[in-house]
A and B are shown apart, each in its own frame.
Chain A
Amino acid sequence: MLKKFILLFLTFCFLYISMMAAAKAFWVTTAPSRLERNVIDSDVHTVVLGASSGEHAWNDSIIPHSINLCNSGVSLGVSYNSLKWIEGYNNVQIDTVIVCSGFASFIYFEDKKLPIPRSSEEIFSILDYPDFLRFYSKKASFWENSLTSLPMWWFASRKLGGAYHYIDREKVNHPRSYDIINAIIESYGGKYGITEQKLYDKCTYQISYLRKIKEYCEDHNMTLVLLSTPVYKYHELLDDTGYRQLMCKELGDSALIADYSRFHLPDLTYYGDLEHTNYKGARYFSNHIVNNGLELQYAIDFAANP
């Protein structure tokens, strides 16, 4: 009887794993057909990539000729692959790539907590094989997720790289607002601990994909701009000198930086939290860009003048 039970259990496991693997294979192979916005309107010349800071700040219905493809939680590796995906659909009109990866979002992407976006399957389908390995070898939960919660992904965003995301929260003063930033300060050893060397040590993947994005833009004659969106008093809490030097070194002296990290929004109600604008902040910031143009500086100046 024990043998019969063990046989029954093994049969169950085999059937279960087979069915889940089949479902997974179907889901992944059909992912590209579910993706939207892969062909971009011909009058759009600027594509905005990056994580939630850009997702919540760049309102592309206000800023003309641009498309916001940022998505919460994505790293530069995903942005790089999104860029290649767009090019793959012959969107030759794109001449400017804005990567929203300022100081605030950069230090979140330490390699040990390299995030995977919620729409994993869609992103999975656009990653090159080496990139796939680099990403997911670090992320055990991907393998767990890969066999569970499949239909839940259906409800997640199917827009490649995301889109402008309207948020109406006002949580700068929330008691837990500073939890993450305090954890970062602790992780780097204090307010002045975010040195260039520590960023090199902790953000290997991010830096390697920053280089790839830069090379890709150069190869395809696209202008790369690194954008820091407005954040609330971040630089009073953290010293960003190391980050500035790193950007200059990696992107080159003449790379273009749009640093709005010290840009003052009228009051606290324009911020969703410390690192994000809410819809009011996004509207204010986007209108400012429309009226004044994107204020750019060279990386060498960015490094020298905080």
Chain B
Amino acid sequence: MVVNSLSFLWFFIVVFLVYYLPVISQRKNLQNIWILITSYFFYGFVDWKMLPLLFCITFVFYLLGAWLKASMNRNESKKASRITTLGVVLGVGLLLYFKYLNFFADSFASLLQAIGLRASWSTLNIVLPIGVSFFTFKLISYVIEIHREKIQPADNFIEFATYIAFFPTILSGPIDRPNTFLPQLRKNHNFDYNLAVDGCQQILWGIFTKMVIADTIALITTEAWTNYADKDASYLIYAALLSPVQVYADFDGYSNMAIGVGKLLGFSVTKNFNHPLLARNVSEYWRRWHMSLTSWITDYVFMPLNIAFRNLATLGLFLAIAINLVVIGLWHGANWTYAVFGLYHSLLFIPLLCFGSFGRNKKLKEGKLGLPLMKDLAMMILTYVFVAFGQIIFFAKDVPSISSFISTVANGSWNCSFLFDISTIVPLPMAIFLFCMDWISRKKEFAIQRSSLIYTNKTINILILDLFIALAISFFGYNGQGSFIYFNF
């Protein structure tokens, strides 16, 4: 049941109508119970075999939270630290087991063989629970935040389980932090007309970017990643340059849908993207890209490492960044290509560290005719090209495929005849359109938020704009793709 499907629409209509029934909407506990039931139904619909795991691990972390708080109340700081460590180890262990066990076992065997030792063992048949990378991070941050005394433990199990399993975000995020989400579960949600209309428009924009932009570009990029040996260099470069827009439109599309659904239920879900196409360097790119993940990793990985390496000055900072980005890379899956992806991005930080521009956050200025300044535009394009190269690494099947892809590009022929084919050229104006929309709506949460394009509260104008978008989805949307890239992670 993908979020942009008819089955999800029917499911959500039922969720929505029951959620705002007077008998339920006046009691926060009943609303939470209803959200929890529907979230488990939703998750079970996608992967029912993993429901017991989700329930058990949620229950374990709920108990850990309560135990931790009790220890802290008794001023048993060592015990509290041990409980927190246990929670982190449990969460990381869960991820390691489901995502990385076979990967590390294979890699270790290859390493032993490389140095002449025999190593052979059979790998386990482990089924990856969908959304595990997302809900595990929620679980870990829950215990850490209690230990840091930034949050109070959940009032009851229903509240905590609802936070973990919240159906709009369980499959692909955004990764909500307990300090922002748990308080929302402690009050009842009355229907908010403006928030609901805003949510609907955000969902519509999410569907648009996913189905019209991402899925159309995917026809080009999928062909390039899978059959790169048969393609000429110009086609591969074209696909690589389109790829960042595809991934952005795909994941931002999903995030917008999730946030929009959350708004319809009265929740404020964490923002995941802040117009990353407008980034002028790689540091800014990572501050704008998948923000719920990067802020999580920054808080729990980068900051402790930065403190640990502070004696090494700039080198220490670089090491912290490199480890941070490798962790982000490997979070995506068990493949060395993701580690290389992280390393590649960390190398892009070297010029920023050398010139002292790391961490600078200059405001985007508007030039003549409302366009970006030439210098900013040049930096945006340069950053985009570097990110596009990173996508080659990201989507490579394995590490040798990266060099194979690059050598195909370097030695390949240049035949730009594909640019005269309507099906291959259509994605290009779509990518440029998304870039323009990002620029126009850079101060807004999403491109068609009412006050960004047409400032009005009149119902008729909302209807016209939404109908225009919906018809554009129907006319230009590619409905053969379906799945979201980040469902794989």
Which residue numbers of A lie inside 8 Å of B, CB to CB?
A: 1-2, 4-5, 8-9, 11-12, 15-16, 19-20, 144-145, 147-152, 155
Contact = CB atoms under 8 A, between A and B. Distances in A.
A20 B471 contact: yes
Interface stretch (B100-108, B137-145, B474-482): B474-482
Nearest to B230: A169
Contact of B466 (A5, A12, A19, A155): A12
Interface of B: 20, 191-193, 196-197, 200, 422-423, 459, 462-463, 466-467, 470-471, 473-479
Given A5-B193, A12-B466, A151 B476 contact: yes
Contacts, number: 53
B476 to A, nearest CB: 7
Nearest to B216: A152
Contacts of A144: 479
Contacts of A145: 479
Contacts of B470: 12, 16
Contacts of B20: 2
26 contacts: A1-B191, A2-B191, A5-B196, A5-B197, A8-B197, A8-B459, A8-B462, A8-B463, A9-B200, A11-B463, A12-B466, A12-B470, A15-B463, A15-B467, A16-B470, A16-B471, A20-B471, A20-B474, A144-B479, A147-B474, A148-B473, A148-B475, A149-B475, A149-B479, A150-B475, A152-B475
Given A16-B467, A155-B422, A150 B191 contact: no
Closest 5 CB pairs of A and B: A1-B193, A2-B191, A148-B474, A151-B475, A16-B470
B193 A4 contact: yes
Nearest to A15: B467
A154 to B, nearest CB: 9
Given A1-B191, A1-B193, A12-B466, A149 B200 contact: no
A84 B477 CA distance: 34
Nearest to A1: B193
Contact of A19 (B197, B471, B476): B471
Contacts of A1: 191-193
Nearest to B192: A1
A12 B463 contact: yes
A138 B422 CA distance: 31
Main secondary structure of the interface of A (DSSP, over half): helix
B477 to A, nearest CB: 6
Contacts of B462: 8
Nearest to A144: B479
B208 to A, nearest CB: 13
A213 to B, nearest CB: 31
Given A4-B193, A16-B471, A19-B467, A149 B478 contact: yes
Q: Of residues A147, A148, A155, which shows the largest number of chain B Cβ atoms within 10 Å of its Cβ?
A: A148
A148 B479 contact: yes
A120 B477 CA distance: 17
Given A1-B193, A5-B193, 17 more contacts: A1-B192, A2-B191, A2-B193, A5-B191, A5-B196, A8-B462, A9-B200, A16-B471, A19-B471, A145-B479, A148-B473, A148-B474, A148-B475, A148-B479, A149-B474, A149-B478, A151-B476
Contact of B423 (A15, A19, A148, A155): A155
A150 B478 CA distance: 10
B191 A149 contact: no
B78 to A, nearest CB: 52
A151 B478 CA distance: 11
A2 B197 CA distance: 11
A146 B470 CA distance: 15
A25 B467 CA distance: 19
B201 to A, nearest CB: 11
A144 B191 CA distance: 32
A5 B406 CA distance: 53
A148 B463 contact: no
A260 B467 CA distance: 54
Contacts of A155: 422-423
Nearest to A169: B230
Q: Of residues A16, A20, A151, which shows the largest number of chain B Cβ atoms within 10 Å of its Cβ?
A: A16
Contacts of B423: 155
Nearest to B476: A151
Contacts of B479: 144-145, 148-149
Contacts of B473: 148
Nearest to B22: A2
Contacts of B200: 9
A20 B471 CA distance: 8
A148 B477 CA distance: 8
Contacts of A8: 197, 459, 462-463
A131 B471 CA distance: 30
Contacts of A2: 20, 191, 193
A147 B475 CA distance: 9
A19 B463 CA distance: 13
B7 to A, nearest CB: 12
B421 to A, nearest CB: 10
A150 B197 contact: no
Nearest to B464: A15
A19 B471 CA distance: 8
B19 to A, nearest CB: 11
